[in-house]
Amino acid sequence: MAMNLYEVNEWNSYSPTSEEMRLIHDCIFLPLTLIVIEQNRLLLDKNARSLRSVFIKAANVIGSKIEADLAKAKGLLLRQNIIVHNGDHRCYSYHCRGYEEQLTFSREFILGEINARITAYTKRIFNHQT
């Protein structure tokens, strides 16, 4: 049975916009990226390399920028009445104005997303872009 155009438009008003979906993904992937940055920073701190202090400072700067972006994303979602819930390590759900959806990601996708985000933050730092 086909939905009336009114019902389709009404359903779309509850589902998240593309910008809100980007914020939802930020709230999922930025904490995971932050964990990887912290683990790498701790490993760097143990190694006795000549550039260790530079790498640790870079990791600290990236971590600070991620924390700021995560706080901003969470605040924007909260104002839009969107809540993201962690399931296990690959399943997440969100509630958006009465609309509920579950997201499941493969391990490979998550690792790729984390690497892409670390690369983007590294480029921002070394290109002096904020």
pLDDT of residue 98: 86
pLDDT of residue 76: 95
User: Does residue 58 lie within any of the structural domains?
Assistant: yes
What is the spatial distance between Cα 73 and Cα 34, in angstroms, rounded to a whole number?
Answer: 14
What is the spatial distance between Cα 39 and Cα 5, in angstroms, rounded to a whole number?
Answer: 50
Q: Which amino acid appears at position 10 of this protein? A: E
3-class SS string, 2-63: CCCHHHHHHHHHHCCCHHHHHHHHHHHHHHHHHHHHHHHHHHHHHCCCCCHHHHHHHHHHHH
The domain in which residue 36 lies consists of: 17-126
pLDDT of residue 109: 96
What is the spatial distance between Cα 118 and Cα 61, in angstroms, rounded to a whole number?
Answer: 12
76 near 23, Cβ under 8 Å?
A: yes
pLDDT of residue 54: 85
User: Does residue 55 lie within any of the structural domains?
Assistant: yes
What is the spatial distance between Cα 37 and Cα 39, in angstroms, rounded to a whole number?
Answer: 6
User: Does residue 9 lie within any of the structural domains?
Assistant: no
pLDDT of residue 48: 62
pLDDT of residue 7: 46
Mean per-residue pLDDT pooled into runs of 10, the chain (130 residues): 47 79 96 94 78 86 96 95 86 90 94 96 79
User: Does residue 68 lie within any of the structural domains?
Assistant: yes
pLDDT of residue 6: 42
pLDDT of residue 9: 44
User: Does residue 1 lie within any of the structural domains?
Assistant: no
Tell me if residue 92 falls in helix, strand or coil. strand
Element (H, E) at 100: strand 99-104
pTM for the complete prediction?
0.81
Domain count, the chain: 1
User: Does residue 45 lie within any of the structural domains?
Assistant: yes
